[in-house]
Structure 1
Amino acid sequence: MRDEISSRIRRLPAGMSGGRAPDFVLAVYGGAFDPPHPGHESVIRRALLCAERVALVPSHRHAFGKRMGDFELRCRWLARLARRIDPRRVYCEPIEAGLMPDRPAVYSIDLLEALAARSGLASPRIALLIGADNEAELPRFERAAELCWRFGRLVAEERLPLHSSMIRQRLREGLAVPEAWCLPEVKNELHCYGGERQAG
């Protein structure tokens, strides 16, 4: 079972050696999580097979100026999700709220550097966790070559064709959100987006 699940996530080591990456100490999973959903949970659980810990980092400011739901609420949702999955190994890291206050957004390389400094971990033991849909965008990331040279990457194949925007869209249209789209930590608070309050 472990091999089946781990085959759905690719481990890429720091640098350009192309060798097999070791297990990482920390996987950093950043995103809007607006709201978090079962697809996110699937990625987290697979990452735990490749890293000792997973930090869930909600975006405080979006790189493209997109408006997001309340930051504190998204942090609470992620903290609850982390406790259900494994409170010893998964945690919500609200570090972006205090990083780079003079910039419109926090870039992945800034986040990874800050977490490396805070944890004392060598950068190759830290991996940026992204979905396969974002892998093609990686060359456009701020200081992309440096990021790939210094830090590892975990690339998760999409197993659930679900995105937060789909949940928000249904709520805006006044439609019930399917039960399978909802995390228990979130479903009773979806009224913050308007429309139906929980799964139908």
Structure 2
Amino acid sequence: MDTIALFGGSFDPPHIGHEAIVKALSEFKDIDKVIVVPTFLNPFKSQFYAPASLRVKWLKEIFSDYNNVEVSEYEVLQEKKVPTIQTVKHLLKSYKKIYLVIGADNLASLHEWNRYNELRDLVTFIVVPRDGIEISQEFLRLNIDEKVSSTKLREEIEISKLPKKCAKEIYNFYTE
């Protein structure tokens, strides 16, 4: 197992769009394993809603039936904001090639990521379309048709947009 897809994010809450991305990645012939890495706190955010330990629990439950998916607690265990470059360098100790999965909404600020030029040299980006944002040919594209956002779900939670495995628990957390 030499090649992984690193799919990081807040997952606050995890939703069917995240699940669809992991499912599509796990069927990608060049990827041996998908590693889902929830943040302790996103480097571009000042707070989280669900505690990191709860988001990890949900993700482990959601992806428990996937053979080639691992939920990593690496960033959560740091108990601080962790730049993607740090996680990539940590994973490169165990894997030869990393595909880094991001949403197209991150493209405009990608140059602001910590040590972006170094990161760009270490990974191959896979970009998931969002909000009609154009994706340059320099990036691989992963077409997913789920139009759902964690931010919008926190504003108006819809149980149908949550992964079935723990939908009720997630729903209850964000409505209490």
TM value normalised by structure 2:
0.81
Distance 2:23 2:129 in 1: 13
Per mean C-alpha deviation after superposition, the further-off stretch among 37-46 and 151-160 is 151-160
Task: Note the C-alpha offset of 1:170.
Answer: 1.5
1:79 & 1:132 partners in 2: Cα distance? 25
- The residue aligned with 1:14 is none
Alignment of 1:90 with 2:69, yes or no, is: yes
2:167 pairs with 1:167? no
**Per-residue deviation, 1:46:** 1.8
Q: Does 1:137 align with 2:109?
A: yes
Paired residues for 1:119-134 under 5 Å: 119=94, 121-122=95-96, 125-134=97-106
DSSP 3-state at the match of 1:66:
coil
Q: Where does residue 183 of structure 1 map in the other structure? A: 163
Instruction: For 2:148, give the aligned amino acid.
Output: L
Counterpart in the other structure of 1:33: 11
CA–CA separation in structure 2 for the residues paired with 1:89 and 1:161: 25
Is the 2:159–2:167 Cα contact (8 Å) retained in structure 1? no
Q: 1:43 to 1:148 in 2, by over 3 A?
A: same
Count residues in correspondence.
157
Give the equivalent residue in structure 2 for 1:12. Answer: none
Q: Retained in 1: the 8 A contact 2:159–2:168?
A: no
* CA-based RMSD: 1.8
Q: Distance in 2 between matches of 1:167 and 1:97?
A: 22
Q: Which amino acid aligns with 1:107?
A: P
Note the residue ranges of structure 1 that are not aligned, 5 or more in a row: 1-23, 172-176, 196-200
Q: Which residue of 2 aligns with 1:116?
A: 92
Which residue of 2 is the match for residue 198 of structure 1? none
Which residue of the partner structure matches residue 52 of structure 1? 32
1:185 Cα shift? 2.2
Q: TM-score, normalised by structure 1?
A: 0.72
Contact 2:25 2:34 (C-alpha < 8 Å) held by counterparts:
yes
Deviation string for 1:78-120 (max 9, x for gaps)? 1112123x1x200110111233x5xx51001011111212x2x
- Residue 66 of structure 1, aligned match among 47, 55, 59: 47
